[in-house]
Amino acid sequence: MTKDRIYLFDTTLRDGQQTPGIDFSVEDKIAIAKMLDDFGIDYVEGGYPGANPTDTEFFASKRTQNASFVAFGMTKRAGISASNDPGLAGLIQASGDAVCLVAKSWDYHVKVALGCSNEENLDSISGSVQAVIEAGKEAMVDCEHFFDGYKNNRDYALACARTAYEAGARWIVLCDTNGGAQPSEIRETIAALIAEGIPGERLGIHAHNDTGQAVANSLAAVEAGVRQIQGTLNGIGERCGNANLVTLIPTLMLKPHFSDRFETGISLEKLAELTSLSHGFDELLNRSPAAQSPYVGASAFATKAGIHASALLKDPRTYEHVPPESVGNFRKVMVSDQGGKSNFINALKRRGIEVGKSDPKLDKLIAIVKEREATGYAYEGADASFELLAHRTLGRVPEFFSVTSFRVMVERRFNAMGQITTVSEAVVKLVVDGQEMMSVAEGHGPVNALDIALRKDLGVYQSEIADLELVDYKVRILNGGTEAITRVLIESADSDGGRWWTVGVSDNIIDASFQALMDSVVFKLMKNRDLAGRIAAE
Ligand SMILES: CC(=O)SCCNC(=O)CCNC(=O)[C@H](O)C(C)(C)COP(=O)(O)OP(=O)(O)OC[C@H]1O[C@@H](n2cnc3c(N)ncnc32)[C@H](O)[C@@H]1OP(=O)(O)O
Ligand SMILES: CC(=O)C(=O)O
């Protein structure tokens, strides 16, 4: 059976740019356009040339090799011809293969926002589309507020779509601009439009997520007959965002309900890069990927529940709707107080630690983890501390060094210039190879001072930890008040590209930090000896 082609249109660089808090530079835009182009997106909408210096510079040359490069802008103003409208001229002259024109399709907006007659708006649509086509470019029209317009004045909304179609627009894109439409309304409206003679292969959908249904509305539109979907990476966009292409693409490609009938321009090999595309984009935005994102989140294929882990290990299909590797993600069976033996055996096996299901040491490890989690530890986010605990319980951690005591002082005083200054100093006493040593250090804060002192002189091990770096430090107060229990999580990295998390818990923040720092250093020494850190994918 031949499949219908679904065209994917990305508006990350245009509607995504309208997200509060997001402001791309030209360099960002170049990098994102390349990511989208390499991935196999059909249309990359780059922005609004002429609206601001960034977009104008971005459109100085074509920024995609395979994807169609699209300039966005509004239809010509009423009362002037297309050739006399400087805004439209700027769009047409900008580098790019296509122009996407935003046009009013709700008569209320024509009256209130444009202040012209309904006929003048229709004339702006046809005149602008014709001007784009005459310039040798593909024209498409984003019918703004189409679904609201259809509810309020069906005939006028249809007239706008028909005018764009008859003027030769390749795509007439139906926009749920305010994001309030429901899937059933989308389906019914599109069916009516197709019944009026505008074919589905010329229709697109642009859905906003104000009721959390942008993806559902886009899929409903496809079921109703549209063949172009507009959306953004990770669902960014104005207000609550746009339809998330990172969710839509795997649904179209992996769910038989869609994949039996439709195909996209993306290969299955590229689909396996989806998680890296999504996370790479978050990296560029300087934000952490959302753990619960469908398909690509760190939790998308994770389980803490013992019953789930047990079944997953027998056959992953028991608790997975698609194979994680199909989207470049991976299965994660975590250890926590929600886990049973299967979680632990699997987590240990991944780290190269074999233990039998009936080994009493396994029961002991599970009991320790559950007991510690009850007091505030969280091993699911502290892989290295879990691994060390497992090695210790199974009796396999060398005694590299021991800390006999530490002391941390924080002093607030006036400096020589008479300004108030806060100084942190730490003293650590430890025994390495039978030799007692003492290190003193000052730091930006008490934890920093302690870290520097601990790692200042580790005797024979000093050169081994030279490339150890602390890259993140998180503190969580587990119950209120100044005598609260504190959980500290530390992320460490080394020059091999290794990254690991350690945890400490105490009613004293310095003590909690010390535990996490100690685990980090010991883990590094174990890792250097290939005794830890050999984590295999599940
Ligand atoms: C639903 C959407 O997401 S549509 C995209 C929205 N995105 C943006 O607006 C981002 C980029 N926009 C901009 O930088 C500016 O709006 C510009 C540069 C395009 C225009 O700036 P200005 O000329 O100062 O106009 P301003 O932004 O104040 O108002 C928009 C004008 O366009 C008119 N207009 C709006 N939509 C259309 C349309 N589809 N066709 C013709 N004219 C339109 C409005 O009536 C208004 O005209 P007025 O100034 O005579 O009242
Ligand atoms: C065009 C557009 O972004 C909208 O109508 O939402």
Can you tell me which atom of ligand 1 is nearest the CA of 17?
A: 10
CA of 58 from ligand 2 middle (Å) equals: 21
For the Cβ of 176 lying below 6 angstroms from any atom of ligand 1, the answer is no
Domain boundaries, the chain: 7-266, 302-387, 401-528
Mean pLDDT value across residues 264-288:
90
Fold of 401-528: Double Stranded RNA Binding Domain (3.30.160)
CATH 3.40.50.2000 for domain 7-266, yes or no, is no
CA distance 88 to 28: 26
Instruction: Using CB atoms within 10 Å of the CB of residue 485, give its burial: 0 to 12 exposed, 13 to 18 middle, 19+ buried.
Output: middle
Mean pLDDT value across residues 254-280:
96
Q: What is the pLDDT of residues 461-478, one digit of tens each?
A: 999 999 999 988 989 888
Q: 191-200: long-range contacts at Cβ-Cβ below 8 A with a sequence spacing of 24 or more?
A: 191/224, 191/225, 192/150, 192/154, 193/158, 193/161, 194/224, 194/225, 196/158, 196/162, 197/162, 198/161, 198/162, 198/165, 198/172, 200/224, 200/225, 200/226, 200/227
pTM higher than 0.80 for the full model? no
For the Cβ of 102 lying below 6 angstroms from any atom of ligand 1, the answer is yes
Q: What is the pLDDT of residues 31-68, one digit of tens each?
A: 999 999 999 999 999 999 999 999 999 999 999 999 99
CA of 254 from ligand 1 middle (Å) equals: 39
pLDDT over 70 for what percent of the chain?
99
Q: What is the pLDDT of residue 480?
A: 62
Can you tell me which atom of ligand 2 is nearest the CA of 142?
A: 1
Q: What is the ipTM of this complex?
A: 0.92
For the Cβ of 143 lying below 6 angstroms from any atom of ligand 2, the answer is no
pLDDT over 90 for what percent of the chain?
78
Taking 70 as the threshold, does the pLDDT of residue 427 lie above it?
A: yes
Taking 90 as the threshold, does the pLDDT of residue 128 lie above it?
A: yes
Ligand at shortest distance from the CA of 140: 2
Ligand at shortest distance from the CA of 113: 1
